[in-house]
Structures are given as structure tokens and as C-alpha cells.
């Protein structure tokens, strides 16, 4: 080899050596470098974009449709059953192990964490608090009360390892028959917005997410999945959207759930003007949009409109989007943009921040908050000659089956299946020091047990349509009627002779009348029955003849007709659906421990 070739060889060897040293160092650095999506020194936006860039198209689809429902790691027992409500806990599951992505642990609301009820024989079970329903809370006109309830609610969500609560509801009371009206605050958009914002601020103070629902103009249960709400732009802005606008701007909720219905021809989940132009651009919403469970419409149209999560997700939606991506009628960049907001939420969850739940919220303290809020929301509709507070009465004749079976909340998504107890009006009066008639108490409790034991279909549901909707065969009520049986069954009839005998041994009469209501039904208002009207009239006439007072407590979901009977009663207390502490709250007002201030 000549000197020239040797020189060239040596120079090339040295150059290769110099080049290889930094490359090997760089390789070592890359190997140990934290991925951007795991680097908590980076902004959450940077982390979300990096995480999405590492996902396959199949994973992106699997996440945006049903929150991983069609990814292999999902347990099918934790997903929605197609009835428009979460039936079992949506607890978190590991979806994409290589990226550490988990499903979102969700729970319904809005009257309390709606966990799976205790199974028969289950010992290790954690209860939750049933707070006053939204209408009762709104009647306080006190945003501080809403914040307190929200904080207690949010704490239970955190300690029981939930990421997202599907509450509060803030549709307007436009239809008195709407079975879900108890889930909403008011007919007034200003009050609605302020109370919802306060609830969200309280809940999210713990780091969990809250959801405004059902957006928007969703005010009936009849044909709820496909009716078209035709609303002028002025009415839309001043009435139907105003409450949501206030809540978005004043509380920055983690998510907004779109409603089932169409609005001015478009499904709300398919309306880009509504979601993008108004909510995102005008209001500055930075959370994610979630569809109500098992709604109708086109998955492709929903993503184009700006939806971020399709729940509960079905195979048809998954296939529709997969086909659209293959045919290039939907660009993957649209999928990435929509997924971005949802991934941001996941990366900001308490679990992602290392919070370890205790499963031990302070339920005793939360019960006190629930009682205070319930009492503050109760409305004294009538108080003739200062009947209340009761000053001299010691013995009380407690009438009406609902006096012994409080309706704490409604049915469907707005129920609280994991509550530990509920205090009836009768129990509340006893614990406040009043004496009640044991035989009258036994007569009503036996009647209630008979209703449960016989399990007959209540009259309201005993018609062809209701039977078909609920899968009713024969005269037996289905298992999911547990919270409906007593509320919707007939009142116990009493003769005048029986009432007279009870009057002779007591100082005052308390009658509780009740109505439940629920999702998928137009049962927000049901007329007073002849038995109920006879009970109020007969008790009033007999007690008045003896110079004694009569108090009527309305344990109802919303609207109640009083014109035909109000002159009989000396005092009328509207208690709403007041949550688990309702009986204590009623007793607080009847004794004067709390001054009724609800409006």
C-alpha cells in the first residue's frame, strides 16, 4: 500500500470513529429519554399531541368510539347496556398497555355518585351520599350551598377512584311532565347557570371532571331520541343556551354531554355551528364533548362537528368511521384533532397525577351538608295563623304511605343506587322528639311491605306501551322497578272512623303526599288521585273539628296541583326530592330549628 492510500485509509478510519462516538452517545440518550407524553415538565397540550402520534389508527378509533370498548383489554361487563344510562360502574381498565392509556372511570349523577348497588351478600361495599336533587338545591338560591354539595360530591368521586361525573344537568323546566325535570335546576336560565357553575366548581376542586348535560334544548322524554326542537335564534341565545354559557364561562367544566334530540333539524352532536362556533370559539370551552349514551345519527357527522367521545359506542359507529378513513371521506387529522381534547382530560386526571384514592370519604360530614341543603331548599307554601313551627304539639298522627317511605330522588340516571339509608318523615319526627302512634305506623309500614311483597305492576305502568317498554309480562313488576313500586302504587285508604280514632290520641296531623319521576317518561307531573284528595279532606275536617292543625308535606319531583285542596291544610311544605336526609330536614322546619327560606 503506497503512502497516499495509507493516508486516505487512516483519515477515513478516524472520521468513522469520530462519527460513531456521538452517534453511540446519542443512541444511549434516546434510549433513556422520557417520551414527551410521559414528561410532566411539558405542557399537557404537547403531551397529548405526542401520545396521539404514537397511536395506531385502530387504537384512535377504539378510543374515540366507546372509550376503548372495542380494544382488547376492555371488560364488556363495564359498558353501557343500551338503555341510555350507566348500569354498572364504568371503572378504569388498562386499554393500551404500551402507552399506559386507561379508560375513564365514569359515574352518573346529579344527586350523588351513582355507583353499582350492593350485591346480595357483598360485605366489602362503599356507600355514597344521596344529596338533594337539583330542583331542591336551586330553590335555596344559594350558590354557596351548591359549592358545598359539589365539594362533597366531588370528594366521593375522588376517593372512590372516579375520573368523571356525568353531572350536573341544566336543561330548563319548560315541560312540567318531563320525567327528568328533578335533575335540572329551574325554568330560569340565570339561576340554572349560576347553580350549575357553583356545583361544577365544587366538584372539580378535587381534580375530577364534571359534565354539563344535556346540551341542548332537551325538555321532554317523549320521542327523546329523535324529536326536533325548533327554536328561534333569539330564544336559543336568551333562554336555552344561556345557562350553559354561564356555566362554561364561570366554571370551565371538563366536558359537555350533547342531548339525544335534534335542534333546528340537526342532531346536537352533529351541529358544528353549535359545538365549534358557539361553544368553543365564542364561549372559550376547552374541555371535551361526549355524546349521551346510545344516541342516534352518523358517527362521521359527529366527528366533523367536533365531538370528542362517542358513548357508549357501538360496532356500527366503529365500522362507519373505519370505512370512512379507508375511503378518504374522513381524514385521520380530523380524528386526531377530536381525540386531542379527550386525551388532554385523561392526562390531567387525578390518577395520572399520582393521587391514590382512600375509599373513605367522610360520609357523616357529607350527610350533614345534604341535610342543611335540603332544609334550605324546602319551600313553605302556606302557613295559616303561624301553624309552623310546632310549639306545643307533642303527639303527631302521621298519614300517607310516603311519610314512611321517603322519595329521596327520581329513577334512571338521576337515581343514587349506592346510598346507605334514607330518613323518612316519620323517622325524622321521632328523632326530633315527637311521639307517633305505633299502630298507625305499623299499619303503613305493613302496607308498604305488602306492596313490595306482592310486586304488582303499579297502575301508571299498567298499559300496553309501558308494558312493552319495560318488558312486563303478567302482573309482576320487573326487577328495575325497585324504586318505583311504593311511589307509584296506590295510597292506603283510611275510613273517617279510623282517622277520628287517631285524632283522639294526637295533637296535630302531618300528611305526606309523594310523586317520583324518571328518565324516559313523561311523569314529572301526575294528577292527585281521589284517595289522596279524600285523605287530605277527611283528615283536615276531623282534626279541625277538634281544634287541631293539619300540615301537608309534598315530597314531589316538581309541579304539583294545590288549587283543589289547599284550603283544607293549615300549612303546606314543598320538600321536593330532598335526598337521603329529607326526613331530618322536614323535622328541622316543623320544629323551627331551621327557618324555611326556599323560594
Give residue 545's pLDDT: 98
| Residue 89's pLDDT band (cuts 50, 70, 90) | low
In a shared domain, residues 367 and 328: no
Residue 90 domain-assigned? yes
Number of residues that make up the chain? 599
pLDDT of 111 reads: 96
pLDDT at 86: 45
Residues 247, 381 within the same domain: no
Residue 126 domain-assigned?
no
Percentage, residues of the chain above pLDDT 70: 91
Q: Indicate which residue of 67, 89, 178, 292 is catalytic.
A: 292
With a pLDDT cut of 90, the percent of the chain lying above it is: 84
The number of beta carbons lying within 10 Å of the beta carbon of residue 23 is 10
Looking at the fold, whether 331 and 448 belong to one and the same domain comes out as no
Strand order, beta sheet including 379-383? 379-383, 571-574, 549-555, 508-514, 395-399, 435-436
CATH number at residue 579: 3.40.50.1700
Which of 318, 347, 376 is the last residue in one of the domains? 347
User: Mean pLDDT over residues 455-465, rounded?
Assistant: 92
| pLDDT, average across residues 284-299 | 97
Question: What domain count does the chain have?
Answer: 2
Helix axes 332-347, 44-53, angle to 10 degrees: 130
**Residue 140 in grid coordinates:** 335555596
Q: Are 243 and 189 in contact (CB under 8 A)?
A: yes
Task: Give the pLDDT confidence of 32-77 residue by residue, as tens digits.
Answer: 789 999 999 999 999 999 999 999 999 999 999 999 999 976 554 4
**Rounded CA gap, 271 and 303, in Å?**
10
* Range with lowest mean pLDDT among 8-22, 96-110, 317-331, 484-498: 8-22
User: What pLDDT, on a 0 to 100 scale, did the predictor assign at position 124?
Assistant: 74
Tell me phi and psi for residue 409, to 5 degrees. Answer: -160, 175
Give the end of a domain, one of 319, 347, 375: 347
Confidence of residue 325 (pLDDT cuts 50, 70, 90): very high
pTM listed for this prediction: 0.91
DSSP 137-193: HHTTT-HHHHHHHHHHHHHHHHHTT-SEEE--B------TT-TTGGGS--S-HHHHH
Sign of CA dihedral 144, 148, 153, 159: positive
Q: Is the pLDDT of residue 282 over 60?
A: yes
> Which DSSP letter does residue 128 get?
B
Model confidence at 14, in pLDDT bands (50, 70, 90)?
low
Do the strands 379-383 and 571-574 form a parallel or antiparallel pair, or are they unpaired? antiparallel
Is 214 among the domain residues?
Answer: yes
Three state DSSP letters for 193-246 = HHHHHHHHHHHHCCCCEEEEEEECCCCCCCCCCCCEECCCHHHHHHHHCHHHHH
pLDDT of the residue at 3: 53
The last residue of a domain, from among 315, 347, 379: 347
Per-residue model confidence (pLDDT) at position 122: 72
Residue written as cell 384533532? Answer: 337
For residue 84, is pLDDT > 50? no
Residue with cell 319531583: 557
The confidence band for 525, taking pLDDT boundaries of 50, 70 and 90, is confident
Short-list 346, 258, 349, CA closest to 307: 258
Identify the pLDDT of residue 470.
87
pLDDT digits (tens, 9 = 90+) for 527-557: 999 999 999 999 999 999 999 999 999 999 9
> Is 384 within the bounds of a domain?
yes
DSSP 481: G
Would 91 be classed as within a structural domain?
yes
Question: Which helix or strand (DSSP H or E) is residue 429 part of?
Answer: helix 425-431
If phi > 0 it is left, if psi is from -120 to 50 it is alpha, else beta; for residue 102 that is: beta
Peptide bond into 239 cis (omega under 30): no
Task: State the pLDDT at residue 389.
Answer: 98
Q: What is the pLDDT of residue 557?
A: 96
Tell me the β-bridge partners of 211.
255
- Residues 557-588: tens digit of each pLDDT: 999 999 999 999 999 999 999 999 999 999 99
Q: What is the mean pLDDT of residues 170-198?
A: 96
Domain span including residue 534: 363-591
Q: What is the pLDDT of residue 29?
A: 43
Q: Which grid coordinates belong to 478?
A: 320487573
Partners of 11 in the β-ladder: none
Asked if 213 and 270 sit in the same domain, the reply is yes
pLDDT digits 0-9 by tens, 219-272: 999 899 989 999 999 999 999 999 999 999 999 999 999 999 999 999 999 999
Alpha-carbon distances, residue 179 vs 213, 218, 558, 574 (angstroms): 15, 12, 9, 18
pLDDT score recorded for residue 524: 83
Cα 286 → chain centroid: 22
DSSP 77: G
Q: Which of 128-137, 464-473, 523-532 has the largest mean confidence?
A: 128-137
Q: Are residues 106 and 73 in the same domain?
A: yes
- Do 322 and 193 have their domain in common? yes
452 within some domain: yes
By C-alpha distance, which of 531, 536, 452, 454 is closest to 492? Answer: 531
With beta carbons less than 8 A apart as the criterion, state whether 97 and 121 touch. no
- pLDDT-derived band at 5, boundaries 50, 70, 90: low
Angle between helices 143-159 and 189-204 (to 10 degrees): 40
Residue 596 domain-assigned (yes or no): no
Question: Is residue 499 domain-shared with residue 408, that is, in the same domain?
Answer: yes
What's the half-sphere exposure (Cβ side, CA atoms, 13 Å) at 48?
17
Q: 358-416: per-residue pLDDT in tens?
A: 999 999 999 999 999 999 999 999 999 999 999 999 999 999 999 999 999 999 999 99
At 425, list the grid cell: 318523615
Same domain, 171 and 311: yes
All residues at 6 or more sequence positions from 430 whose CB lies less than 8 Å from its CB, including other chains? 436
Same domain, 375 and 323: no
CATH number, domain containing residue 330: 3.20.20.300
Mean per-residue pLDDT over the chain, rounded: 92
Instruction: Answer yes or no: 292 catalytic.
Output: yes
- Residue reference for cell 279524600: 534
Residue-level pLDDT at 1: 52
Residue 275 resides in a domain: yes
pLDDT band at residue 10 using 50, 70 and 90 as cut-offs: low
Q: Which residues pair with 510 in a beta bridge?
A: 398, 551
CA distance 155 to 363: 10
Same domain, 476 and 581: yes
Same structural domain, 423 and 509: yes
> 419 and 324 share a domain?
no
**Interatomic CA distance for residues 65 and 68, integer angstroms:** 7
Amino acid at each position: 500500500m503506497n503512502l497516499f492510500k495509507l493516508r486516505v485509509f487512516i483519515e477515513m478510519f478516524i472520521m468513522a470513529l469520530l462519527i460513531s462516538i456521538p452517534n453511540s452517545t446519542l443512541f444511549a440518550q434516546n434510549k433513556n429519554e422520557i417520551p414527551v407524553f410521559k414528561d410532566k415538565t411539558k405542557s399537557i397540550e404537547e403531551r397529548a399531541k405526542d401520545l396521539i402520534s404514537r397511536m395506531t389508527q385502530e387504537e384512535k378509533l377504539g378510543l374515540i368510539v366507546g372509550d376503548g370498548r372495542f380494544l382488547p383489554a376492555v371488560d364488556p361487563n363495564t359498558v353501557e347496556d343500551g338503555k341510555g344510562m350507566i348500569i354498572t360502574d364504568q371503572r378504569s381498565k388498562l386499554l393500551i398497555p404500551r402507552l399506559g392509556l386507561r379508560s375513564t372511570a365514569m359515574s352518573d349523577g346529579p344527586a350523588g355518585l351513582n355507583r353499582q348497588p350492593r350485591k346480595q351478600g357483598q360485605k366489602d361495599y362503599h356507600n355514597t351520599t344521596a344529596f338533594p336533587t337539583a330542583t331542591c338545591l336551586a330553590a335555596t338560591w344559594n350558590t354557596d350551598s351548591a359549592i358545598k354539595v359539589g365539594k362533597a360530591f366531588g370528594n366521593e368521586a375522588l376517593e372512590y377512584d372516579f375520573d368523571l361525573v356525568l353531572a350536573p344537568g341544566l336543561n330548563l323546566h319548560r315541560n312540567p311532565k318531563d320525567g327528568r325535570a328533578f335533575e335540572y335546576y329551574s325554568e330560569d336560565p340565570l339561576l340554572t347557570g349560576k347553580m350549575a357553575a357553583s356545583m361544577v366548581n365544587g366538584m372539580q376542586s378535587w381534580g375530577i371532571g364534571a359534565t354539563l348535560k344535556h346540551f341542548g334544548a332537551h325538555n321532554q322524554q317523549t320521542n327523546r331520541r329523535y324529536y326536533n326542537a325548533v327554536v328561534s335564534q333569539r330564544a336559543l341565545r336568551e333562554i336555552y343556551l344561556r345557562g350553559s354559557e354561564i356555566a362554561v364561562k364561570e366554571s370551565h367544566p371538563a366536558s359537555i354531554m350533547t342531548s339525544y334530540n335534534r335542534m333546528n333539524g340537526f342532531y346536537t352532536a352533529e351541529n358544528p355551528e353549535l359545538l365549534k362556533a358557539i361553544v368553543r370559539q365564542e364561549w372559550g370551552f376547552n374541555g371535551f364533548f361526549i355524546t349521551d349514551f346510545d344516541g342516534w345519527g352518523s358517527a362521521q357527522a359527529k366527528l366533523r362537528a367536533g365531538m370528542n367521545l362517542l358513548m357508549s359506542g357501538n360496532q356500527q359507529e366503529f365500522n362507519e368511521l373505519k370505512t370512512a378513513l379507508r375511503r378518504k371521506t374522513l381524514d385521520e387529522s380530523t380524528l386526531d384533532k377530536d381525540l386531542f381534547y379527550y386525551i388532554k382530560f385523561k392526562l390531567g386526571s387525578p390518577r395520572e397525577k399520582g393521587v391514590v384514592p382512600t375509599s373513605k370519604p367522610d360520609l357523616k360530614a357529607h350527610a350533614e351538608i345534604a341535610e342543611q341543603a335540603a332544609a334550605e331548599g324546602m319551600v313553605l307554601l302556606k302557613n295559616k295563623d303561624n301553624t309552623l313551627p310546632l310549639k306545643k304539639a307533642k303527639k303527631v298522627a302521621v298519614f300517607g304511605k310516603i311519610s314512611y317511605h321517603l322519595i329521596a330522588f327520581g329513577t334512571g340516571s338521576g337515581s343514587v343506587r349506592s346510598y346507605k339509608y334514607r330518613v323518612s318523615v316519620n323517622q325524622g319526627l321521632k328523632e326530633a322528639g315527637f311521639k307517633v302512634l305505633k299502630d298507625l305506623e305499623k299499619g303503613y309500614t305493613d302496607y308498604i311491605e305488602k306492596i313490595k311483597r306482592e310486586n304488582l305492576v303499579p297502575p301508571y305502568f299498567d298499559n300496553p306501551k309501558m308494558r312493552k317498554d319495560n318488558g312486563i309480562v303478567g302482573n309482576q313488576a320487573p326487577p328495575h322497578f325497585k324504586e318505583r313500586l311504593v311511589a307509584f302504587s296506590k295510597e292506603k285508604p283510611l275510613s273517617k272512623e279510623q282517622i277520628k280514632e287517631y285524632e283522639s290520641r294526637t295533637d296535630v296531623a302531618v300528611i305526606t303526599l309523594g310523586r317520583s319521576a324518571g328518565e324516559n317518561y313523561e311523569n314529572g307531573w301526575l294528577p292527585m288521585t281521589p284517595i289522596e284528595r279524600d285523605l287530605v279532606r277527611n283528615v283536615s275536617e276531623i282534626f279541625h273539628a277538634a281544634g287541631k292543625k293539619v300540615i301537608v308535606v309534598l315530597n314531589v319531583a316538581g309541579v304539583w296541583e294545590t288549587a283543589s285542596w289547599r284550603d283544607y291544610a293549615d300549612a303546606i311544605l314543598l320538600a321536593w326530592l330532598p335526598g337521603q336526609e329529607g326526613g331530618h330536614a322536614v323535622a328541622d322546619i316543623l320544629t323551627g330549628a331551621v327557618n324555611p327560606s326556599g323560594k
